[in-house]
Structure 1
């Protein structure tokens, strides 16, 4: 029986089919990158498929957005038009969740990302994503927050309104039905 963080062969096949279709449909996100090279990277790192499947399962619609020539890794971001549905209504991190006395959300963005084997987008990564399309027109997404801000109880999130990407702050313990998080994964 497979480990809980391992896909069955048929699940892997289905995921790869979905990823290939999305890759081919959105070539502007990954100019100069060819699917057979990405597929070879999956075959060399099958353990990463579980994390990609988690991104897909929670509504992230992951896609290749870049290539790190230094490491030979392909970079995937959540490319769903809005913040992934399966990752909304979360406060920022475990500390915020524990500090919340009433109406606690089910989880927090940082722990969920860690459990999925992905990293929450940084502000720079979020802005890079927005160069590839128009995302979070109705929702917002938590982003990695600098330690100095987090120590003071805050956390950062972004969205796109008025054809502009905005960076905001909120108490880390806050959560909203329209705020989730986007992740990245290198393979």
Structure 2
């Protein structure tokens, strides 16, 4: 049987659901009041969302449910790896920044990778909410969705956690570092 690009073969789908369920059960404080059976039922009806979660997992994001949007009826999966996902580091902010680099271009950009994976970068508010569920990015940092007025001037913002405090910083959008990646959110 042939599968399109954004659909997982049955064995891979079942394996991924098992990994996600185990993580969900292990980290119950992240999603109090949410039942795995409800989450799985929604996942099983959307092959493309499962594919996106597989991409998050493949790049070592360790996605987990961190909330439920009452207005839209969607569960929120966010990368919950302790550090910025390894498979998404050493990248600049967006395509414009990548194209503007004359030398030593990174392999990709955060915005392009997120779009290819079917996810979005976290906003600053989402990043700070995630930090209430644990200690993330204590050795790394993560690009976050940058306001248009900052990006228009050539900058981009990122966050990390140091000294038990969450910090928001700025950098040129074309910069990239081995310890900076991005965290994503997927609405299911």
CA distance in 1, matches of 2:8, 2:99: 32
Q: Which shows bigger deviation, 111-120 or 44-53? A: 44-53
- In structure 2, the residue matched to 1:97 is 98
Q: Report what 1:75 is aligned to.
A: 76
Q: Any gaps of 5 or more consecutive residues in structure 1?
A: none
Instruction: Look up the SS of the partner of 1:47 in the other structure.
Output: helix
Q: Indicate whether 1:107 and 2:108 are aligned.
A: yes
User: Which residue does the alignment assign to 2:146?
Assistant: 145
Equivalents in 1 of 2:43, 2:154: separation in Å?
39
What's the TM-score, normalizing by structure 1?
0.99
Gaps of 5+ in 2: none
Moved over 3 A (4+): none
The count of aligned residue pairs is 187
Q: Alignment RMSD, CA only?
A: 0.5
- 1:43 aligns with 44
Partner in structure 2 of residue 171 of structure 1: 172
TM-score (norm 2): 0.98
| In structure 1, distance between residues paired with 2:38 and 2:118 | 22
State the shift of 1:13 in Å. Answer: 0.3
CA distance in 1 between counterparts of 2:147 and 2:28 reads 33
Task: Quote the Cα distance in structure 1 between the aligned partners of 2:35 and 2:165.
Answer: 31
